[in-house]
A and B are shown apart, each in its own frame.
Chain A
Amino acid sequence: MRVRADTALCVSTGSCALTAPEVFDLGEDDGVVVVLVESPPDEQRETVGRAVRACPAGVLSLAP
């Protein structure tokens, strides 16, 4: 599982970072999503999936 972020679309809601804080963060200065772990372990699949769906701006996607 790989996480992709199209950061150009990010509107800084923080939903991803609050849903899956081990995988996503919000930049302290620029307010843009930071992917902390690009290939999260499979046991985090459900949480990461929820974080991806929680983004209202379609920034995030998952690739196998």
Chain B
Amino acid sequence: MNRHTDTPAGTELLDLPMPEPRTCPFGPAPVYDRLRAEAPVTRVACPTGLTAWLVSRYADVRDVLGDAERFSSRPGQVVHLMAHADPERPIGEGEFTRMDGPEYQRFRRHMGPEISSPRRLAKLRPLVRAVVDERIGALAAAGPPADLYQDFAIPVTTASIGGLVGVPYADRDLFHTAASGVFSDVTDQVQLAAAVRPLQGYLFELVRRRRVEPEDDALSRMVARAPSAEPPFSDVELVAMSAVMLVAGFDSTATALAHGVLALLNDPGQWARLRDDPSLVPGTVEEMVRLFGGGAGIVREATVDTEIGGRPVAKGDYVILAIQSANHDPEAFPDPGRLDVARDTEGHLGFGHGTHQCFGQQTARLELTVALEALVRRVPSLRLAAPLADVPFKTGTSVVGPERVPVTWDEILPAEGEGP
């Protein structure tokens, strides 16, 4: 590991800045303002022991993410935070998030028709709407107050991704448990394997069943198309893809929704603008992803001797892209810390950039848009039930955001097509 721990003369080794939700609930750690200005490419020590270059300016982050030839994803996306992650471990069968080039594209293109095509997303919209309306109905039945994260956002995204892939809601514990292992920063490799194994076993069985009796779901279609891929997909690879879709597909979106609604309700003028003009919802979703997306940062490895922002970087060096800092770079977005539901967010990096840009981004956009549209329409009096200072934030996970969002309301209006 020596080649990764050498620190060039004259470069101070900082501890990797961690989110500080108490002081900055909606932005990156405050030290990033200074880093962008004075040390935009700087050496840091990570909690896992990894030493890396931390890149904090928009232009540099975008350049590195956009150049998969110079900067490989092989170490793993969040290897700087996870105790169980080992950047030098061989890539497992189907572990596509660490692949590059055509090998990686083969997976993206197999999933793409299920999660990214306009036709498929149009078919998913009614499913998501039904889930959202049902959950708002449940809030109405239970009455205020509620926790918008656990009582709304998590069930909505869980039922949506489960319905998409083809896993019944009753079986959700399997991927919830796997996700808490995958995204916890303290799980070791043994605990991780134990958290993920039941889901893998379940999905192996589901792949076999859907091959014999296909249903109208993504897994059935991915299984049916598997033999015509080049080379054909193995069952291990099909399990890996569906597991990643499930595991990565609920908490990141739920947390973005809870975090975004928290920010909107904390700024009642912005909530009112949205309520008065719901056509602003899709833009607001982009603004939410710009503000909070990629809060943990992601890792690349230099494949050649190169430079970032004029700073020499050696082949084999690890690089951390501080995505949230990039999206809060005033050079890219004026008054970047301000939530603005009408902001032009084009070019934001909240879903990443380059070939590894979030593969679930279109389903996340769909879920966030449908959920937010329904909340502003059916629960216009929604407001925080506790001061922002009392809202707890999650610790020990790479999915950064609130742990609870206590909300209350006066009235919940019926769903479209429902009687009063």
A interface residues, Cβ below 8 angstroms from B: 9-15, 17-18, 21, 25-32, 50, 53, 56-58
Cβ proximity bits B294-328 to A, threshold 8 Å, 1 near / 0 not: 00000000000000000000000000000000000
B118 within 8 A of partner (CB): yes
Chain B CB count within 10 A is highest, among A25, A29, A50, A53, for: A29
A7 to chain B, nearest CB (A): 10
Contact partner, B109, options A11, A25, A56, Cβ 8 Å = A11
Whether A56 pairs with B110 at a CB distance below 8 angstroms is no
Interface membership of B357, Cβ < 8 A: yes
Residues of A contacting B111 in the complex (Cβ-Cβ under 8 angstroms): 12, 31
**Interchain residue pairs with CB less than 8 A apart (14):** A9-B355, A11-B105, A11-B109, A12-B109, A12-B113, A26-B112, A26-B118, A27-B113, A28-B119, A31-B111, A31-B112, A53-B346, A56-B352, A57-B355
Known A11-B357, A13-B362, A57-B355; judge A31-B109 contact (CB<8 A): yes
Interchain nearest-CB distance for A11 vs B (Å): 4
Contact B225 A29 (CB under 8 A): yes
Contact A31 B110 (CB under 8 A): yes
Which residues of the partner chain B approach A56 to less than 8 Å between Cβ atoms? 66, 352-355, 357
| Interface residue B32 (Cβ < 8 Å from any Cβ of A) | no
B385 beta carbon closer than 8 Å to chain A: no
Query: Given contacts A12-B116, A18-B116, A25-B117, could you give 10 more A-B pairs where the C-beta distance is less than 8 Å?
Result: A9-B355, A10-B109, A11-B112, A12-B108, A18-B362, A26-B117, A28-B119, A50-B346, A56-B354, A57-B355
Chain B interface size, under 10 / 10 to 19 / 20 to 34 / 35 or more: 20 to 34
B109 and A14 form a contact (CB under 8 A): no
Check if B346 sits within 8 Å of A31, measured CB to CB.
no
Known contacts: A18-B121, A28-B119. The answer to whether A13 contacts B361 by CB under 8 A is yes
CB-CB nearest in chain B for A50: B346
Query: Which of A25, A28, A29, A57 meets B354, CB within 8 Å?
Result: A57
**B11 contacts A by Cβ under 8 Å:** no
